[in-house]
Every structure is written in C-alpha cells, then in structure tokens.
Amino acid sequence: MRKLSLILALLLTFSLASCTGTKTVTPHPNALDLAADVANLTQLDFTFSSRDTDTSYNEGSAVKITLENSTAQISGDGAVITDGDIVISKEGTYVLSGKYTAGMLKIECTDTEKVQIVLNGAEILSPDSPAVYVKQADKVFFTLVKDTENKLVDGDKYSIIDGNSEIDATLFSRSDTTINGEGKLTVIGTNKHGIISKDDLVIAGGDISVRSKKVGITGKDCVKIDKATITINAGSDGIRSDNNDDANRGFVYILSGKIDITAEKDGIQAENVLYVKDGSIKLNCGGGCANTVESLKPSDKQPTVLDPNKTSDEEKPESYKGLKSDSDIVILGGTIIADTADVCMQANGSITVGGGAIKLSSGGDAINTDKAYIQNGGALYTVKCINAIAAANVLINGGEASIIASELGISATSRIEVRYGYVITDTTLSAVNSSEFFLVSGGTVLLNPPVDESKPVIASPSIITAGGNFVALGNVAVNATDTAYQYSVQSGFDKQNADTSIFLCDAKDNFLISFNSKRAYSTALISSPYIKEGTYVIYSGAKLENSDANGFSYGGRLAGATQIASVEIQK
C-alpha cells in the first residue's frame, strides 16, 4: 500500500446523472473546435419531388404495350417497334406487361418531355444491348406496380448503339431517372453494370434486386434513396455517384429503406458527401474482414501503372471499403453493419455520426478520415479491425463507442477529446494515441489494459482530466495529474488478476467509480467529479449487482473487496 500526494486541481461542475448525455457547459480551454471540419450540406439537393414519390397513373389515357416475346402489341400513340427495339418518342405514360426478347426499350424524346414507364409484370431480355436505354428526355419515371415481378436483363455483348460504346448497363439513362412503386424489379447486368443514370438517380420505393458483372447502381450526379428495399451483388462497387466536376453533385443520400450489398470492391462510394439519415444498411466488401487488402492483391504480377487520364474500373486502384467518400460522411440515424476487407468507413474529409447504430468489422481500419471524426450520438461498435478510429482530430461528444482493435483504439495525428458519451476500449496496443493531447472533459471513459503489456494504455504527451468518469488501467506515458483540472488518482500496486474489478472509495467506503478489467493490471489512472481533498482508497475484487456489463457504476457503499492502495489528496 502506498500514499501519493496529488496537486490541487480545478474542479469543473459536472452532473454524473448526465454522463452519457449531451448538455451545454463552459468548454475547457483545450476543447476542440471542429466547426470548420463539419460537412456543409446546405448546397446539396436532398429533396424528393412530389412526382418522385407519386406512383399513380391514369390507366385510361396510358399507352398499353403488351410484350409477346419477339413482338409487342401497342395500344395508343407514342411508341413503335423499330429494328426489334420498342421506341418511345412522346411524353406520356406507358404500361408494359409480358415478356420481350427481341431487343430493348428505348426512350428518345425531347429534353423537355417527361415519361412514365409503368412495369406491370414486364420482362425485357435483350440479346445484344441494354434492356432499357434512355437516350433523351427531361426525366423518366419507372413505376413498379404493387404485387408484380419485373425483370431486366441485357446481353453479354453489345452491338454499337448510336455510335457510342460507353452504353454499358442493363438500365442505361442519359436523363434524370426515378424508380418508385411497390412492386419488384430484378436487374441483371450480364455485360457490365446494372443501373446507370448519367444525371440524377432517385429510388423512391420498390423491391429492387441487382446482380451485375461490374457496378450495381450509379447515379453520376447523385443517388437518392427512400422507402426502397435494395439488394445488390456486384462484381465491382455496389452504389456510387461519381461526378467530380461539380461541387454540388456526386453525392449519395439515404433517407430510409433497406439496403443489402455484397460487392467485390466498395460498398457505397461518393465523390461528394455520403449522407445517411435513416434506414438499414448491410455491407460485405472484398469478401469481408477475413480478407485484407494485401491478401487480395495478385502476388505474381507487377504493380499496375495507372493512366491519370482514364477513370475506368480497370484503371482504378483496388479498394474494398464499406462507406467511402472523397469528401465527407454524415450518419444521423439508422443501422449500418459493414464487414469489409478494407476500411469500413473512409472519408477524405470528415466523418460525423449523430445517431443510429454502427457495427464495423474490417480487415484494415474500422474508421479512417483525413480530417475529423465527430460523434454526437448513436452507438459505434468496432468488433474487428486493425485500428478502430484514425483521424487528424477525434471528438466524442455523445453516444456510445465500444472499441475492439488488434492495434490502436482511438488514434489522432493531432488531438482527442471525450466531452460526453460512453467509451470502452479493448486493444492490443494503446487504447488512445494522440500527438498533442488527450482531454477527458465529460462522459464516461473506460480503458482496458492493452494485450501488449509493454505498450501504454494512453500514448500522448499530455493527458488532461477536466470532467466525467475516467478509468485507465495500464501504464500511461505521462503524469496525468500534472495537467488535471479535475482531481485524478494515479497509482501503482500489486498486480491484479484479469476479470477483477477496481474501485475508488472515500475514507468511509462510499465508492465513487468502478470498472471490471478484462486483463491483469498493476497501475491505474482514475478521475471522478466526486473526488475532493482527503483520503481515497483503491479496492479490487468485489462484484456489484447494479453495475453495467463493463462493471461500471458509481455511488453506494462497498463491501467484500481488498484494499490495494491509499491516496491522500492535499492542496
């Protein structure tokens, strides 16, 4: 048993009852200001028009197209059969039913005309072209009739269409395109891609299944999804928006729906913001976390020299990520489960999590962002990865973060702050690694000892305790009490066994904080807003019925534990 004399530190007012909530307090002088790193969404169009969501049509005035294998019966004006293709050249509503195998459906109107294609149990199986080709229109709406099954299949080899070889998807559109309704649509990309729109692509309903040799779904200017069930099995990316010429384009927006993607490369990729407001997303990329980027590289080939003037799938570097953005990722709700060979969530900008539940399994890092990782709410679970969170700055400002990593837990090239929320780590190397400082200004932070006992649980030139409940077991690289704004206890003692709880109590055995360690430990750093001047005792060994799954609790009396250290806090 040893006594330590700790310096007097400033005590910030903090309510333990709000340790996992989000409230406004006077910020610490070292608090992170990441306002400049938050994604700017004001210039992006996330709206769905009334017609995007309107699945109604006038049966009486609609043109009926009954597909009969190699021919079709057309009732009304605006559509004809030309060289085996069904060509629509006039604005209006067209209802398709039956099966067609002689060619494609082609929409060729003026750029001011809108066309609604109602799929009422229709199959188009084109032998040498896309199943559907929108050459020109203002906008085309594909409505899936409730309780119907529809199917689009392209040929494995295309003939040249309109003198252009870039037409390479089962449903290929040069115009704004919307899919809505309550029916089913199966798209099979035998040649290359499943669905491509060279403008906006809106999916506002339907049960859509895509199987493609290359990319599943692409909207060049944007992809917006709401109230749809989408299943993709892609030989390349699952969903992507790839306009990198316009700062207000190239984004993916998921308002709601259910998305299940199995992709040989990236799951969902955006040149601009990738924004998830709600919904259910499940991703398996590159075969999942059982693989890694290195394991997927051919070992018997020289490195590919990329042509900077080309952007074809074959020219792009290999990438097996889950959610990927060349700008920012914003997640405000929903459920995301990602199992990837590469990084689960990658952004060249920042990543902001404001709600929802996220479960990540990666053969690389779980989260990697060039700027900031900001968590204001929700629940993050990294269940398998190398490094859990890697960023320039990390701010946990609410919610829960349960971190398991085979190397580092939270890693920042600059600074890390936990302001509110609940953080629990289980790592092989350091739980926290920052080049400037690690600030705990609120919330609850519980750090298990690293598997590698030679590594510090916190690797940072400065550890600042300024609020909240904080327990770090294992060595730390610096004396945390030297920069404390809230009283901290830093002590060594005889080694305690794994699965043994640690408790900090006052002189009357009223315990202030507890934590159950997954591994053996012989040092501890503990901070609590209830620590004041006086004598404090560190115990181990007891079990508490009212603690959470990590053995965390605060308040009450302690019995049946073993005293392992005593600390005297003086001015």
Q: What is the pLDDT, as a whole number, of residue 316?
A: 58
User: Residues near 560 by Cβ (< 8 Å), separated by ≥ 6?
Assistant: 541, 542
Nearest-angstrom CA–CA distance, 489 and 515: 14
Hey, which bits of 257-355 come out as E strands?
258-263, 268-270, 274-276, 280-285, 323-325, 329-331, 335-340, 345-347, 351-353
3-state helix, strand, coil in the chain (%, to 5): 5, 50, 45
Nearest-angstrom CA–CA distance, 168 and 132: 11
Q: What are phi and psi of 35, to 5 degrees?
A: -60, -35
Q: How many residues does the chain have?
A: 571
The DSSP secondary-structure symbol of 376 reads -
Beta bridge partners of 132: 105, 171
Q: What is the pLDDT, as a whole number, of residue 17?
A: 26
Nearest-angstrom CA–CA distance, 476 and 480: 8
Query: Is-contact 276 258, C-beta < 8 A?
Result: no
Half-sphere exposure of 508 (CA within 13 A, CB side): 4
**pLDDT, tens digit (0-9, with 9 covering 90-100), for 347-406:** 999 999 999 999 999 999 999 999 999 999 999 999 999 999 999 999 999 999 999 999
Helix (H, G, I), strand (E, B) or coil at 555: coil
Q: What is the pLDDT, as a whole number, of residue 305?
A: 46
Threshold 0.85, pTM exceeds: yes
In the chain, what is the straight-line distance between the N-terminal and C-terminal CA atoms, in Å? 22
Q: Exposed, middle or buried by CB within 10 Å (0-12, 13-18, 19+), for 494? A: exposed
Residues lower than pLDDT 70 in the chain: 1-26, 297-317, 479-484, 571
Q: What is the pLDDT, as a whole number, of residue 51?
A: 97
Nearest-angstrom CA–CA distance, 445 and 471: 6
* 475 token code pair: 């060595």
Angstrom distances, CA of residue 404 to CA of 19, 345, 371, 389: 22, 16, 22, 10
Q: What is the pLDDT, as a whole number, of residue 546?
A: 83
Nearest-angstrom CA–CA distance, 509 and 536: 9
- Characterize 340-377 residue by residue with b for buried, 16 or more Cβ atoms within 10 angstroms of its Cβ, and e for exposed: bbbbbbbbebbbbbbbbbbbbbbbbbbbbbebbbbbbb
Nearest-angstrom CA–CA distance, 355 and 124: 41
Helix (H, G, I), strand (E, B) or coil at 569: strand
